[in-house]
């Protein structure tokens, strides 16, 4: 059965383009990095990424998320200038090739976010929740774009040493309550929340969050879910990230049933299929 949240329509002002979310949508991941945890998502050839984005859009993606820095545990940190040099040529060509597409920039650096949005991106995806670069919120407010607020702790290099919670669901929920209020004070109202699966959380804590995901509907914000091929799947099943598509689809389906509105994925076609089947199930 559908609840009132399932039927709720959200609108996001993406730099003048109004994105209306009546049913769940898909965000495709394009990693312009040499060290993303999922090898098949890494793009080094400057023509491959255009083909990858085109296929994602053909498969039904609404948003393409572009990242120039791996945020997997223990990833090597790169500075903002290196990230800019890595990501901006890709963004420029993608926006030129697909001018009607919504692009988000996956970065925790305000300078990278500013340059990407000025070039044509229209959403900021900040895995640090504004904690790494204190200028990020002011930048998002000035640019007047939706801001993806993700829960994490520390840096990717040390986040897995910061998993001490008394009650992970309550503490993540309280984080959002306080941060959303702070963002409103900064005049950022189009906030998308992401509980941050895999970020400063153990496998057991990830599954606890997923099990209680419906609680986050109380925040009345668009809920983005990033479960795609994460270690909570392949470590639990004792397989590899390459083998974890089926597990991803299962967990995405559970997330959809608990209120997810954006699925951030490597595999767009399968995520669209999960949305379609979940929608048919809810009709009956």
Phi, psi of 199, deg, nearest 5: -105, 110
Q: How far is CA 112 from CA 14, 67, 93, 208, 271, in A?
A: 17, 10, 16, 34, 29
**CA–CA distance, 104 with 194 (Å, rounded to integer):** 14
| Residue 230: active-site member | yes
**CA–CA distance, 53 with 103 (Å, rounded to integer):** 10
3-state SS track over 162-212: CCCCCCHHHHHHHHHHHHHHHHHHCCCCCEEEECCCCCCCCHHHHHHHHHC
- Of the residues 52, 153, 258, 264, which is catalytic? 264
- Of the residues 230, 235, 238, 261, which is catalytic? 230
Residues paired with 20 in a beta bridge: 11
**CA–CA distance, 52 with 257 (Å, rounded to integer):** 29
Its sign, for the CA torsion 13, 18, 23, 25, is negative
Q: Indicate which residues carry an active-site annotation.
A: 230, 264
């Amino acid at each position: 059965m559908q609840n009132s949240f399932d039927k709720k329509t959200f609108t996001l002002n993406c730099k003048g383009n109004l994105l209306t979310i009546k049913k769940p949508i898909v965000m495709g991941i394009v990693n312009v990095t040499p060290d993303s945890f999922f090898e098949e998502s890494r793009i080094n050839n400057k023509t491959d990424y255009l083909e990858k984005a085109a296929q994602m859009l053909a498969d039904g993606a609404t948003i393409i998320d572009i990242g120039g820095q791996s945020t997997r545990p223990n990833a090597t940190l790169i500075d903002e200038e290196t990230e800019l040099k890595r990501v901006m040529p890709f963004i420029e060509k993608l926006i030129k090739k697909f001018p009607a597409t919504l692009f988000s920039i996956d970065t925790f650096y305000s300078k990278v976010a500013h340059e990407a949005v000025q070039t044509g991106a229209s959403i900021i995806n900040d895995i640090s929740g504004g904690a790494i670069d204190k200028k990020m919120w002011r930048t998002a407010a000035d640019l007047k774009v939706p801001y993806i607020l993700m829960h994490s702790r520390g840096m990717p290099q040390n986040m897995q040493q910061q998993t001490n919670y008394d009650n992970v669901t309550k503490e993540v929920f309280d984080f959002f309550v306080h941060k959303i209020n702070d963002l409103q004070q900064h005049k950022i109202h189009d906030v998308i929340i992401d509980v941050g699966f895999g970020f400063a959380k153990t496998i057991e804590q990830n599954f606890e969050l997923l099990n209680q995901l419906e609680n986050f509907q109380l925040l009345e914000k668009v809920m983005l879910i990033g479960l795609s091929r994460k270690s909570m799947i392949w470590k639990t099943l004792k397989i590899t990230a390459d083998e974890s598509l089926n597990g991803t689809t299962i967990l995405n389906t559970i997330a959809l049933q608990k209120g997810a509105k954006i699925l951030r994925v490597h595999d767009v076609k399968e995520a669209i299929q999960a949305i379609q089947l979940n929608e048919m199930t809810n009709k009956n």
